Structure 1
């Protein structure tokens, strides 16, 4: 049984979502605003957080920022009523793992959540989980979801880790945005493939903070992205 924290000030929506998640076998925790949600995360350590963006006292974007700055990598799904690409990109830039636009199907939200939880379980229980991917200066530990570049830790979300692993494990191979999105998210939900650009931009920025000369993630115009082989 996984513990899901719902941070939402619409009591009717919380009741509907709680029933759906409990029917699916999850334990549901509730918080009525962002600050209350932040306290529940620190106290109750949920397996996943679902938060509305437009929250009293502390909005969903600020919640993401605070958690990631504190190195808390709990998976976060944002709910937003504004179907604008800038909102979606901003949520991912700040460290959210996924977003769902209102109005949404409870079934779709449950599928997104289960996909995130399933990826965590696969990483923890896979026979290959202890295999460390080492490509040049990059080290990836799939079991611990830890990434290091030149020995320095990179704070990554689950989605970022999967995307980085997909690229680095196959140097020189060009991945389309569709393929990277499939590898990074692991579900069949329909989202804008251009969000891959946001994930890549965020990864580049994090690694460049360690090595300003970093340029291993290469954009292949009209095709996608690849991890440049040494000497390429």
Structure 2
């Protein structure tokens, strides 16, 4: 499932933790202090860290601070035998994701690590997904490419996919004359051979639908012998 780095100067506790995480299906890495943990983090890139606070040399607080200062957002849970509000606040302020006081329930620790792994997976997925395209606006006309939605004066205009692509092509290029062949190429995205006059049919439908919202709509202009252009709204 995931690789978990376990950091504690107590060898017996490390062994217990490793066994519990391995039984839960995880691979484990172990370090006895913060310095060794840093080296493993750079080399192995584990998916989560469970770290004791009280260790010689680089302690858990210092390790957490070092990681966050370096921009490393690996999920990290701090363990401590000092059950105090001050410790908890400090750990969380330094960037720890969770905090557990010893003695703790192994089942609860496993559940908290699982929750952090799920959260991190969702965050990674969200960051990897491209942001939805921004709406295209011209005066009272608004197009949402991700939803294939047209709003005109705040009212929804029902259009087909082809009609949307045609309108989008025109609105994205205000005041430019686009030939029927060029419009078909943009709308269809291929070299399909069709009668380019079909664009006239799409334009008529678009005009009719937009005129149902505003009878004065006249922004899609016919340029005789050349094609069509969208006259942008001003002001």
- TM bucket by the smaller chain? 0.5 to 0.7
Q: Which residue of 1 aligns with 2:219?
A: none
Q: Shift of the alpha carbon at 1:80?
A: 0.9
Structure 2 residue matching 1:104: 3-state secondary structure: coil
Q: CA deviation at 1:122?
A: 2.6
- Match of 1:72, SS state, is coil
Tell me the residue number matched to 1:155: none
- Gaps in structure 2 of 5+ consecutive residues: 135-235
Partner secondary structure for residue 5 of structure 2: strand
Q: Matches of 2:54 and 2:17 in 1, distance apart?
A: 17
Segments of 4+ moved more than 6 angstroms: none
SS at match of 1:50: strand
SS at match of 1:56: coil
Q: Which residue of 1 aligns with 2:95?
A: 95
Tell me, in whole angstroms, the C-alpha distance in 2 between the residues paired with 1:130 and 1:119.
19
User: Rg bigger for which structure?
Assistant: 2
- In the alignment, is residue 104 of structure 1 matched against residue 97 of structure 2? no
Q: Residue 74 of structure 1: SS of its match in structure 2?
A: coil
Q: Bigger relative contact order, structure 1 or 2, given CA contacts below 8 A and separation 6+?
A: 1
Mapped partners of 1:35, 1:120: distance in 2? 24
TM-score normalised per structure 2 = 0.53
* Map 1:30-69 → 2, pairs under 5 A: 30-69=30-69
Change (3 A) 1:129 1:101: farther
Q: Provide the residue aligned with 1:184 in structure 2.
A: none
The answer on whether the counterparts of 1:123 and 1:129 sit within 8 Å (CA) in structure 2 is no
Structure 1 gaps of 5+ residues are: 135-232
Aligned residues: 133
Q: Normalized against structure 1, the TM-score is what?
A: 0.54
Distance 2:50 2:111 in 1: 13
Per-residue CA shift, 1:64-99, capped at 9, x if unaligned? 111111111111100011111110000011111111
